[in-house]
Structure 1
Amino acid sequence: MPIDLNFTDTGGDGTPLVVVHGLLGSADNWRSHAKQWQRRRRVIAVDLRNHGRSPHVAGMGYEPMAEDLLALLDRLDVSRAHLLGHSMGGKVVISLARLAPARVASLIVADIAPVAYGHDHDSVFAALRRVEAGEPTNRREADALLAEHVEESAVRLFLATNLERDDSGILRLRIGLDEIQGDYETIMGEPAGEGAFDGPTLVLRGAQSRYVTDEMLPALREVLPQAEIQTLEAGHWLHAEQPAAFQAAVNGFLEAVEG
C-alpha cells in the first residue's frame, strides 16, 4: 500500500516538474535548483520512503516507491508531470514511466542507468552507524565521527544533511537506516516494470562518474530508446558540482519538449 510522501510544492500553472533525490538524499538537497526552476514552472520535490521527512517502512523496491510517487501525483491532482530523478531516484522515475507512461510528460534521468550495480556503500553505512552510536551534539563532532570511515569532505557534508537535533540536543539520523540497509540489494538492482518508455527522455551523466559508462548505453537505450544523452564535466553529484550546466540542460530539454 502506498505511503504519504513528504514533499515541497512551489505552486504554479502548467505541467509540473517532479524532482526525486537519490540514495540518502532528500528534497532539501534540491532547494537551490527549485528556486531557479520555479521562475518558469511548478516544482514538486519529494522525500522518498525512509528518507527526509517521509515515513519509515520496510521495503525499498522500485515498484512500491513508484507507487508512492504515483499516489502523491493523485493526491495533488497532477495528471501528467515531467519527472527528474537522480541516481536511485532515477530508477524510481524510470519505474514509474514504465508502469504508468500516460502520467509522464517527459523523463530526465541524472547519472544512473537501468542496470544492477555492485555494492559500494559499505563505508557510508559504517560512517552513519558511527554517528548513530556516537550521539554528537554539534556538527563538528558529527563530521569527526563520519571521517573515521569517509575521507571525502563533500561526501561527509552530504551525509550530514540527514542529521537533525532532538529534544535533548543530540544530532540524530532522520533516515530509516535499518530499512535502507535491510533492502540494499533491491536498491542496487534494476528498476521495476517491463519494456521501454518511448516518451521524450534526457539522460545526464558525469564525465568522471562510473554510473553511466559507454558500455551501459545499449542496455540504457533498450529501456529508454528516445534518450538524448548529455555528458557534464562532473562526477556522480553532477547537479551539485555543475549546477549552472545542469540547469541549462534541464531547461533546454523542457523548453524543447513543451514547444
Structure 2
Amino acid sequence: MGAKAVMTVALTHPDLVQNIIAVDNAPVDARLQSSFARYIQGLKKIEEAGVSSLSAADKILEPYEKDLVVRQFLLGNLHRPRVDPGGKPSPTLQFRNPLGILGKSLDHMGDFPFKDPHRVRFGKPALFVRGTKSTYVPDEVIPLIGQFFPLFELVDVESGHWVISENPEAFRQAVLKFLEPKE
C-alpha cells in the first residue's frame, strides 16, 4: 500500500515532496485480490509455529503461495527481535507488522481518500509503474491518474503486482530514466 500512501502525502503536503514513484497502484478505491487474505492466513501459520529460520517459514508459506519471489517478498517482514537490554536475540522470528490488524483491514486497505481530482492535484513529476500481468492499474483509470497527477509518466513492466520483486532490473531502469535531469 506504499503507492497509495505516497500519493496521499503528495496530494496532502505537496511542499514536502519533489516527485513520486507509485508502483502498481492508482488513485482509486480498489478491492484487493483474494490472494491477500490467503497470504495473511499463511503468515499467521508461521507466527503460530514460532519458526527460527526463514527456510522453515518458507515451507509453511509455500502452500499459500507457489511463487518463490512473492514468498521471499512476504517473508521480508520477518525479523529476529532483541529480547533483553543486552541485545540477546530472540530464538524465534517475528513479523514487523501486526498480522491481526492487517487481516481485519483488508476490506478497506485498497481505498483511496481523495475522490475529486478537481479539488486537489500534485503538479510535480510523478512516475506510475504498473505490472503488465496485474489488474491494479487498468487502462480506464489512466485519465484519472492524469487529473490528480498532471505531470505523470506511465511505464509498463513485465510482471505481476509485485513489480520490484518480480522484475527488479526493469523497475530500476524505469526509475533511473525518470530521475534523470530533464532539459
DSSP-derived class of the 1:115 partner = coil
| Larger RCO (CA within 8 A; separation ≥ 6) | 2
When normalised by structure 1's length, the TM-score is 0.60
Task: Please point out which of 56, 61, 64 is paired with 1:141.
Answer: 56
The alpha-carbon distance between structure 1 residues 182 and 246, as it changes in their structure 2 partners (threshold 3 A), is same
Aligned pairs for 1:234-245 (under 5 A) are: 234-245=159-170
Task: Please point out which of 3, 25, 30 is paired with 1:117.
Answer: 30
When normalised by structure 2's length, the TM-score is 0.82
Asked if structure 2 preserves the Cα contact closer than 8 Å seen for 1:94 and 1:191, the reply is: no
Aligned pairs for 1:213-252 (under 5 A) are: 213-252=138-177
The aligned residue for residue 86 of structure 2 is none
Asked if structure 2 preserves the Cα contact closer than 8 Å seen for 1:197 and 1:224, the reply is: yes
Aligned pairs for 1:45-56 (under 5 A) are: none
State the superposition RMSD in angstroms: 2.1
Using the alignment, how far apart are the partners of 1:203 and 1:119 within structure 2?
A: 19
The aligned residue for residue 72 of structure 1 is none
Unaligned runs of 5+ in 2: 82-88
State the identity %: 32
DSSP-derived class of the 1:108 partner = strand
How many aligned positions are there?
A: 171
| 2:28 partner letter | V
Asked if structure 2 preserves the Cα contact closer than 8 Å seen for 1:105 and 1:200, the reply is: yes
Matched, 1:182 2:104: yes
The aligned residue for residue 160 of structure 1 is 75
Using the alignment, how far apart are the partners of 2:162 and 2:105 within structure 1?
A: 23
Asked if structure 2 preserves the Cα contact closer than 8 Å seen for 1:91 and 1:191, the reply is: no
Q: Which runs of 4+ in 1 moved over 6 A?
A: none
Q: CA deviation at 1:173?
A: 1.7
The more displaced of 164-173 and 106-115 is 164-173
DSSP-derived class of the 2:30 partner = coil
Aligned pairs for 1:78-117 (under 5 A) are: 88-117=1-30
Decide which structure has the larger Cα Rg and report it.
Answer: 2
Using the alignment, how far apart are the partners of 2:7 and 2:174 within structure 1?
A: 19
Using the alignment, how far apart are the partners of 1:116 and 1:90 within structure 2?
A: 13
Unaligned runs of 5+ in 1: 1-87
Using the alignment, how far apart are the partners of 2:46 and 2:97 within structure 1?
A: 13
Asked if structure 2 preserves the Cα contact closer than 8 Å seen for 1:108 and 1:203, the reply is: yes
Q: CA deviation at 1:94?
A: 0.7
Using the alignment, how far apart are the partners of 2:144 and 2:25 within structure 1?
A: 12
Q: Which is richer in strand?
A: 1
